[in-house]
């Protein structure tokens, strides 16, 4: 029984750390003021000729991590 309780507590602690490590995504709109001190990662732009969602993870000047979702044109359009 003690082992089961310990496993439950460990799983809750892991979920809490996972939630802390991945903040809720913010939606970018035109005119959104951004405080970007360091870009952590950018999602890969798919090879399509269409507007697609993209994600950027960054840190602000206070060291807080943010996830920003925005729209980007895919890189699959060709000019003839």
Residue with tokens 């890969």: 44
The C-alpha angle 46, 51, 56, rounded to 5 degrees, equals 65
Q: Which residues of the chain register pLDDT less than 50?
A: 4, 16-19
> By percentage, how much of the chain surpasses pLDDT 70?
70
Instruction: Show Cβ contacts of residue 55 under 8 Å, excluding neighbours closer than 6 positions.
Output: 25, 42, 43, 67, 68, 69, 70
Q: Which pLDDT does position 78 carry in this prediction? A: 79
Q: Could you tell me the domains of the chain?
A: 25-80 (2.30.140.50)
């Amino acid at each position: 029984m003690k082992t089961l309780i310990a496993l439950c507590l460990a799983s809750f602690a892991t979920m809490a750390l996972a939630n802390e490590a991945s903040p809720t995504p913010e939606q970018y709109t035109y005119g959104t003021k951004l405080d970007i001190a360091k870009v952590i990662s950018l999602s890969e732009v798919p090879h399509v000729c269409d507007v697609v969602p993209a994600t950027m993870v960054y840190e602000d000047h206070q060291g807080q991590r943010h996830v920003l979702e925005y729209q980007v044109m895919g890189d699959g359009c060709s000019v003839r």
